A and B are shown apart, each in its own frame.
Chain A
Amino acid sequence: MIKVENVWFSYDGVRYVLKDVIMKFSEGNYIAIMGENGSGKTTLLKHLNGLLKPNKGRVLVDGIETSKIPVSELARKVAIVFQNPEMMFFSERVYDEISFALRNFGLDEEIIEKTVKKVLNIFGLDEYATESPFNLSEGEKRRLAFACVLAWNPKYIVLDEPTAGQDVFQRELLRGLIKQLTSQGRTVIIASHDVEFVAETKPYIYLLSKGEVIGEGKAEDVLTDDKLIKKAGLIKPQIVEVFNYLGFNYREILDVNDALDFIIKKVSERNV
């Protein structure tokens, strides 16, 4: 479990970017940290693997305080995929790019080879193993970034704005990936202001505004709360807006699929 306990953080020692943040991420859970740009989402994510240390308060990963152990050790448990995948690429071959972290963790060459091949296969990158990562398409680069991180089987997977600039196919892939990871008992934490994606995937939500947690709860409770969503500088999912406009207030309807199920159910009830 990751516990964020009363964390305060400032980059310049003057203005606090995080203010008394309290959060808890349990095993196998899927959590979204939402808020407008500049609300402190990425800063908070960087605290989870010790890239940033709190000025006040503490972050505990499986009971270990992040300020007490180096990032290179914590990274084995908490993996972060940043918004721009190109920031992490430097190898000549896709194969080397994936094996980089495994070598950093001191694994045997035999295990590395086995793992890289398996991961290449999972993410459909087999045919690009000897290609340069920079020659891949944007979607493939994104997949490679996930492959690089998931290769070492981390317990906690943190994704920063995973849907930014992604097409429908990539979003679908991401949805499937999150589902698969959580079903394996791994914790997935995303930072996003993509309300529609969050509505589709229905995680437990923490709302951040100006560095403070202004609300938390299940997706159906948070995303339908007018006041809270406005306060966080977000807008409600379109389907919720449409249903509200029509005079309905069903908290369980957050995306098109929910709406479709609801309509089919109502129509069949009427026909009966």
Chain B
Amino acid sequence: MYRLTSAFIYEGRKTWVHELDPRSKLILSATVMLISILSESLLIQILVWTGEMLISFIGKELRKFLNSALLVLPFSVFILLINYVFGRGLMASITLSLRLVAMVGAFSIFFALTPPEDFILMLESLKVPALISFSFSLALRFIPVMAEETQRIIDAQRSRGLKVDSRNPIRRLKMMMPIFIPLIILSIKKSMEVAEALETRCFDPNAKRTSIIELKMTMRDYLIIALSLAILLAYFILKCSI
């Protein structure tokens, strides 16, 4: 569980891709995602996914990127089957299922390659209210914590004889209750603890906050943005010419 969700978590690695300005990475990820959403060509989807894979390879996060694909694989297969069964054609169904993988991959390359503090700074530089940007970044940081917590609960219940691998979907859903209830209760407790910890450290969402680090665009960032826009432009030209 943790291994899969870690596909979206920055874990302190430093390459030049990690050190890029988060705004340029956001534009790059948004570009590939937009192309993936707009395109109905299987070739384009494959190209988008390969491109994302290349970026994650350069950022030494290929394993995480592949984990992101693994995470959505069941949904992707479901989309493929549903579309094929309802007569969409094999190629179109594969394209749709691959689109999901490519879109999630775009999220993975952005979040796995961006430190959370850069992410908050980016939101603040985009004038997002502090309360929203802080809550969002906090939620992001809590994903691995919750994933670990979920795994611990699953382990505790399996140790009490809970069978979590039933093939019957209703039975499976029923078996989720001993996992979801403790998870929800522990999450609420944890969020209250975090709120108290923030209050004791004088957190005020409306106060004007300063930062020791300031975001600065470098030549590399401008190149990435230019490249992203060029790819997007090329895609539109290609689409219009066909």
Contact = CB atoms under 8 A, between A and B. Distances in A.
Contacts of A134: 185
Given A72-B161, A90-B177, A11 B3 contact: yes
A75 interface: yes
A79 B163 CA distance: 15
A152 B155 CA distance: 18
Interface string A77-94: 001101010111110000
B178 to A, nearest CB: 5
B160 A88 contact: yes
Contacts of B162: 72, 104
A193 B163 CA distance: 32
A12 interface: yes
Contacts of B229: none
Nearest to B157: A88
Binding site secondary structure of chain B = helix
Interface in B174-207: 177-182, 185-186
Contacts of A75: 158-161
Given A12-B3, A134-B185, A87 B153 contact: yes
A148 B179 CA distance: 16
A172 B76 CA distance: 54
Interface residues of A, number: 27
Contacts of B182: 86-90
A90 B161 contact: no
Nearest to A71: B158
B185 A70 contact: no
Nearest to B180: A90
A51 to B, nearest CB: 5
Contact of B161 (A12, A76, A84, A86): A76
Contacts of A46: 155
B233 interface: no
Contacts of B160: 75, 88, 100-101, 104, 148-149
Interface residues of B, number: 22
Contacts of A86: 182, 185-186
B186 A51 contact: no
A154 to B, nearest CB: 10
Interface string B164-176: 0100000000000
Contact of A105 (B149, B159, B161, B177): B161
A148 B165 CA distance: 22
A49 interface: yes
A72 B163 contact: yes
Contacts of A51: 155, 158-159
B14 interface: no
Most interface-central of A79, A86, A87 (chain B CB within 10 A) = A87
A82 B161 contact: no
B152 interface: yes
A134 B185 CA distance: 9
Nearest to A12: B3
Contacts of B156: 80, 82, 87-88
Nearest to A88: B156
Contacts of B159: 49, 51, 71, 75, 79-80, 82, 149
A104 B163 contact: yes
Given A11-B3, A72-B163, A134-B185, A90 B158 contact: no
Nearest to A89: B182
Interface in A114-134: 134
Nearest to A102: B161
B142 to A, nearest CB: 17
Contacts of B186: 86-87
A157 to B, nearest CB: 11
Contact of B163 (A11, A49, A70, A84): A70
Nearest to A79: B159
A105 B178 CA distance: 16
Those 4 A-B pairs whose CB atoms lie nearest each other, nearest first: A104-B161, A90-B181, A101-B160, A88-B156
